[in-house]
Amino acid sequence: RVPAGEFMMGALEDDEDAYDDEKPRHKVILTQDFLIGKYAVTQALWKVVMGSNPSDFKGANRPVECVSWFDVVDFCNKLSKREGLEPAYSINGGDVTCNWNAKGYRLPTEAEWEYSARGGEYHTYAGSDNVDEVAWYNNNSGYETHPVGQKKPNGFGLYDMSGNVDEWVWDWFGDYSGQKGTDLVGPDSGPYRVYRGGGWFSGAGYARVSSRDNYGPTYLGSSIGFRLSRLTP
């Protein structure tokens, strides 16, 4: 459970590694408590729900990867139905809309993800200014994923929000406006969905909390997984 609150979203003011798309810093207000996964979704959970395991780096407690954004929203709805929850997504081919009032599983928004990754702190990485304490990245991963939860958690008790695998979020990719925002859900449309967090193959700079990148929603690869979010019961 992550409490409602406000934070400054975007690159820290003294971050010399920040890219332009991480700026300007801007205040974001999240008006509702929400639930977010302590870990990225594992291969074991994916297999229970979907009946298969697409991952390159096999291991029940490793994060699932090789899943597209479309695969992930389908998974969210199927898990919601298994648990008797109202699905968050309406899926009509490539057109996906979200019912933000539904209690079913969904991806976090980009703002929810960064707020959660910061954990009430303003470290460079999710839970530390020392990347090796919290992240599997190219200098320590052995160029593969690792079972979830082996590194230090952040201030909210969340693991691997820096490193291991990048994580899909809801939002279409777009530039920050610098304006104060409330319960932001990103642009209305676009060609690319945002992913966050850095992964096993990328440098420490990509594991910074403010780092952001994007792929088309059909992309899948061994670098990207996700974690679940939903409204509180």
Give the residue carrying structure tokens 């839970």: 127
For residue range 35-61, what is the model confidence (pLDDT) as tens digits? 999 999 999 999 999 999 999 999 999
Q: What is the pTM (predicted TM-score) of this model?
A: 0.97
> Which residues touch 194 (CB under 8 Å, ≥6 apart)?
110, 168, 169, 170, 171, 172, 173, 186, 212, 213, 214
pLDDT for position 178: 78
For residue range 79-138, what is the model confidence (pLDDT) as tens digits? 999 999 999 999 998 999 999 999 999 999 999 999 999 999 999 999 999 999 999 999
For residue range 145-164, what is the model confidence (pLDDT) as tens digits? 999 999 999 999 999 999 99
pLDDT for position 13: 87
- Of the candidates 101, 104, 99, the one whose C-alpha atom is nearest the C-alpha of residue 84 is 104
For residue range 69-83, what is the model confidence (pLDDT) as tens digits? 999 999 999 999 999
